Structure 1
Amino acid sequence: MADRAEQVVTWETVQPGVTVVTALRPPANALGIPLLDGLHAAMDAADAAGDVKVMIIVSAIPGFFAAGADIKHLSSIDAESFTAYGDKMRAVNDRLATAPYLSIAAVDGLALGGGLELAMACTLRVSGPGGKFGLPEVKIGLIPGAGGTQRLPRLVGRGRALDIMLTARQVPADEALSIGLVDRLTDGDVLEAALAFVGEMKGASLPAQRAVVRTVDAAFDTPLEEGAAYEVAQEQSLFEDGEAAEGITAFVEKRRPNFR
């Protein structure tokens, strides 16, 4: 946890297997280089620990999850630097989406542009009543380029995704829940709600949970027959090399499984 990427991102283990990553880059958690480097550092720490099952990403700034790309930074760079900046944003999101653990974005405030793209890269999203979600890039002549045009339609469908991106509007928390952009809505503290969500998933096999995510994601990328074949391969792999043997044995013996 050295230097903590200028202290704009911190992380701690709050219970066995659960890491909370907190973003604090005033005034609005703009996704500048320090914050992106901090997120990479948090994931480096999770990889080094080797025992993380769920990562929760939350903001310490009231009213903001992350307001999006660092526009001031964009205003001062050339095309080559723009490419490098975009690559760094995409690398964070892609790494989070393919991490060997589950992830939850705990949002209470604005999650706009790159902030929403970060939240969509997580496995799941929890929102407080103040959550607002949007991809307003067309207002500055760009498109959501860190996975937004690809992940949003997979969550809410083509028509709703186009509505959100073409109008650049902010989607309130209750609508976000109704269209599947967020998975849980709470009237209380979003971190507590995220931890409660973790509690519901506790006791299951992480390899099996990750396989569920992969096979569900495959449903959006492949024809039905190919997706079904991929499902079979994942199931077979879990039986041969995963934790299914322990799960089945525990069920027969009427005890809790000892998953890793």
Structure 2
Amino acid sequence: MEMLNTHCGVTRDARGVVDVAICNAGPLNILGSPVTDAVREGLQQLCSDRSIRVVVLRGQSEKSMIGGADIKEMAKLDQKSAEAFISRLRDLCEAVRQFPAPVIARMPGWCLGGG
């Protein structure tokens, strides 16, 4: 697996199928700010690669695709930082929605909350 950054790993095959893994986010793949930003940035890096025919988005863990937003981080937020947190999640969703190839979610287990 090629790591685009700390939390976004990529595996490619010859057919143009790109597996994007949410990495180093704990056994349930929790979406904290660093993870959310990194996965969005990884998708943005891949946007210009016209050889990609489809993206399979998955969590690194087999326990869940996404265990939801990081509740521990959320408990420490004030209004301004909470707005930034929600904006990050929205921006990640928008990056998936705007990706120039189809994006398929691989969900072997849970997909909760912000997932």
Which category describes the TM-score, using the shorter chain as reference length? 0.7 to 0.9
Tell me how far apart the structure 2 counterparts of residues 103 and 2 of structure 1 sit (CA, whole Å): 19
Query: What is the CA-CA distance between 1:87 and the residue it aligns to?
Result: 0.5
Counterpart of 1:83?
83
Q: Deviations over 1:63-122 (max 9, x none)?
A: 11111011011011111000011011001101211221101001011101111xxxxxxx
Structure number with bigger Rg: 1
TM-score calculated relative to the size of structure 1? 0.41
Counterpart of 2:67?
67
Structure with the larger helix share: 1
- Residue 56 of structure 2 corresponds to residue 50 of structure 1: no
- Residue 16 of structure 2 corresponds to residue 17 of structure 1: yes
Question: Where do 1:1-260 residues align within 5 Å?
Answer: 4=5, 6=6, 8-24=7-23, 25-115=25-115
Distance 1:15 1:35, change over 3 A: farther
Runs of 4+ in 1 over 6 A off after TM superposition: none
Query: What is the CA-CA distance between 1:61 and the residue it aligns to?
Result: 1.0
Supply the RMSD in Å over aligned alpha carbons.
1.7
Verify the 8 A CA contact 1:10 1:38 in the aligned structure 2: no
Secondary structure of 2:99's aligned partner: coil
Tell me how far apart the structure 1 counterparts of residues 109 and 3 of structure 2 sit (CA, whole Å): 29
Verify the 8 A CA contact 2:64 2:111 in the aligned structure 1: yes
Distance 1:3 1:23, change over 3 A: closer
Structure with the larger strand share: 2
One-letter code of the match for 1:58? R
Query: What is the CA-CA distance between 1:15 and the residue it aligns to?
Result: 2.8
Verify the 8 A CA contact 1:32 1:69 in the aligned structure 2: yes
Unaligned runs of 5+ residues in structure 1 are 116-260
Secondary structure of 2:26's aligned partner: coil
Unaligned runs of 5+ residues in structure 2 are none
One-letter code of the match for 1:46? L
> Which structure would you say has the larger RCO, counting Cα contacts within 8 Å and 6 or more residues apart?
2
Alignment coverage as a number of residue pairs: 113
